[in-house]
Structure 1
Amino acid sequence: MVAVESGVAPQQDRDDVARRLLDSSETLSYDPTEEVDWDTPLDTSYHGASPEWSTLYGTSYWDEMSPEQQRELTRQEAASVASTGIWFEMILQQMVLRDFYAKDPTDPSFQWALTEIADECRHSIMFARGAAKLGAPAYRPNRVVVELGRLFKSVAFGESAYAAILVAEEVLDVMQRDWMRDERVAPFVRTINNIHVVEESRHMKFAREETKARLQGSGKLRRQVDALVVAIASYFIVTSMVNKKVYANAGLDSERAVREAKANEHHKSMMRSSCAGLMEFLNSAGLLTRSAMWFYKRANLI
């Protein structure tokens, strides 16, 4: 991914991390075309995600829904999260390619960057096929968010890029760790989640290391700006995970569903508890400023 500037971190340390990640990738990587059961028809007796992660779980509307409606909603929500994941993975890939343009291909970090891009390409195809099998349309963030993402991928660099990547990956990671162990979730979805969790753990490690390395020696103003940029990017990523159209596609009253989801304290609590470790890391890196916290609170991450 993004190369560390001269003097920011010892080159040998960077090379060691990259080599370990490359070794891990050789030892434990998956081919979704072979690992995931794409051929068995969708069994609608399963959820698409753990019910407790549904945006309506814990609301009066959830209690009124039939088990079939609840399962359909979680399938649509899981597909929306997957689609948002594809959108962000495409942003990530473009930032990586831009940052490594014309750099030394013999550098282990360069080779790891290409490995990560290959992982993300497979993940995006896997998510796309999974969403289609769940019977969902192509969910996308709204136009404003799409254009903000276009701007972010073009200008973000260094710690700002890495920390934003880390937030998106860690939030999704916590959800998927629950889903992949939940026998109520469709088996093929659990396999998808397991693949993503295993392979993304390497990406998150590199993002954390790069964030810390890039911040070494940075001044107060730079950290304030970084913190705000990361928080704003994180807000739009997280709030775009579940598209409002999932409710109508699950046969629900969209207006009521959106209203109850917005006020759902259970879901807010799930999001906050899942991000405790992430917020601790951002705080230790000096990226949890007062202005940044406003956006994280709005996104129910803190």
Structure 2
Amino acid sequence: MASSTVPPSGSLPASDQEVAQRLLDSAAKLAYDPATEVDWDTPLDKDFHGASPEWSTLYGTAYWQDMTEAQRKELTRQEAASVASTGIWFEMILQQMVLRDIYAKDPTDPQFQWALTEVAEECRHSIMFARGAEKLQAPPYRPHRAAVELGRAFKTLAFGESAYAAILVAEEVLDVMQRDWMRDERVVPFVRTINNIHVVEESRHMKFARDETRKRMRKAGFVRRRISSLVIAIAAYVIVTSMVNKKVYKNAGLDSERALAEAAANEHHKSMMRSSCAGLMEFLASARLLTKPALYFYKRANLI
């Protein structure tokens, strides 16, 4: 356990402090207040999608061809709201892990201050996602009970590279899809703004998570590396499979049984997920975190 802790400020390599200070400077110069940046007052325009259609779980299926354009737009709005709700769930886990990691450490250290800055940004993101899902006229989507309980255990027990690499997985997957959504003029404008804010601010969080994962892995022996790689992969599987709630199809006015069957067999969506994770898998491989047991879960989640 002791090997996962960050050394006192005075013994940290200068590069670690410099990275944290650069992130702090970036946050000071380029930060958003979703309460004022997002257009919350204009009524929802249902002529727009909630996300790029190509990212829908049914895009490319026979059911998608049978749906009306209005049904397609409603489905993408429900799916976008479900992704936002999953984001809130994991951001709450993330905040607790980060706070636990810096507990009782040197508050004058730039890394300590950056960690608090990240938590503050995640709080704003969670509120932004919640308001966005509400404006999309979606109900509150929550992961299934097993995922919630696994998350409860993970936020309490995960440390070091297991915590930071799992954070990176969630952020990387969201980042790729949201970069598409924020540029897509078919997506309702306020959702594009939300995605732009999240992409800009999460780029700092991903930089920190990568650096922390590399740093913790320098001290990891064979057994710890094997355990961590498996924990990260299981966390990734739970996160990714929780993104789109099964209830979105019913709430979009579709035949849930048919939608679930066609979504499960949708090779287009599986391909989109794999392509979105190419950079992430390259990083995990470079950090020696792609063991055979881990690959089993990444393949089941269609991330590789």
When normalised by structure 2's length, the TM-score is 0.97
Cα deviation code 1:153-173 (max 9, x no counterpart): 000000000000000000000
Match of 1:250 in 2: 252
Aligned length: 300
**Separation (CA, whole Å) in 2 of partners of 1:183 and 1:263:** 28
Is residue 2:231 matched to residue 1:229?
Answer: yes
1:64 equivalent to 2:84? Answer: no
What residue in structure 2 maps to residue 166 of structure 1? 168
SS of match in other structure, 2:288: coil
In structure 1, which of residues 147, 156, 170 is the aligned counterpart of residue 158 of structure 2? 156
For 1:277-292, list aligned pairs within 5 A.
277-292=279-294
Equivalent residue for 1:31?
Answer: 33
TM-aligned CA deviation for residue 217 of structure 1: 3.3
The alignment partner of 2:58 has SS state of coil
Q: What's the % identity of the aligned pairs?
A: 76
Match of residue 111, structure 1, among 113, 138, 149: 113
Contact 2:178 2:196 in 1 (8 A): yes
* Secondary structure in 1 matching 2:153: helix
Amino acid at match of 1:140: R
Large movers: runs of 4+ above 2 Å = 2-7
Aligned to 1:204: 206
1:100 Cα deviation from its structure 2 partner: 1.4
Displacement of 1:11 after TM fit? 2.9
Within 2, Cα distance between the matches of 1:213 and 1:76?
Answer: 39
The 3-state SS of whatever aligns with 2:116 is helix
1: distance between equivalents of 2:108 and 2:47? Answer: 50
Report the equivalent of 1:11: 13
- Structure 2 counterpart of 1:55, from 52, 57, 63: 57
* Counterpart residue number, 1:85: 87
Deviations 1:28-56 (A, max 9, x none): 00000110000000000000000000000
Say which of 294, 297, 300 aligns to 2:299: 297
Shift of 1:5: 4.0
Match of 1:259 among 248, 251, 261: 261
- C-alpha separation between the residues in 1 aligned to 2:59 and 2:42? 28
List alignment gaps of at least 5 residues for structure 2.
none
- The answer on whether the counterparts of 1:95 and 1:156 sit within 8 Å (CA) in structure 2 is yes
Contact 1:231 1:296 in 2 (8 A): yes
Distance 1:36 1:141 in 2: 26
Q: Cα offset for 1:4?
A: 2.4
The DSSP-based 3-state class of the residue aligned with 1:211 is: helix
TM-score normalised per structure 1: 0.98
Letter of the structure 2 residue corresponding to residue 262 of structure 1: A
What is the letter of the counterpart of residue 167 of structure 2? I
- Name the SS of the counterpart of 1:198 in structure 2: helix
| Matched residue type, 2:55 | W
- Distance in 2, Cα, partners of 1:68 & 1:294: 38
How far residue 10 of structure 1 moved from its aligned partner, in angstroms, is 4.2
Contact 1:4 1:213 in 2 (8 A): no
Say which of 162, 168, 188 aligns to 1:186: 188
Q: CA deviation at 1:3?
A: 5.3
Question: 1:56, 1:264 within 8 Å by CA — same for their partners in 2?
Answer: yes
Match of 2:133 in 1: 131
State the Cα RMSD in Å. Answer: 1.2
Contact 1:235 1:295 in 2 (8 A): yes
Looking at structure 2, the residues matched to 121 and 66 of structure 1 have their Cα atoms a distance apart, in angstroms, of 37
Q: Secondary structure at the match of 2:127?
A: helix
Question: Is the CA contact 1:4–1:210 (under 8 Å) kept in the aligned structure 2?
Answer: no
Which runs of 5 or more structure 1 residues have no equivalent in the other structure? none
Q: Does 1:45 align with 2:51?
A: no
Residue 99 of structure 1 deviates from its aligned partner by 1.4
Q: Structure 1 residues 103-112 or 64-73, which shifts more? A: 103-112
Give the Å deviation of 1:103: 1.2
**Which position in structure 2 is the counterpart of 1:268?**
270
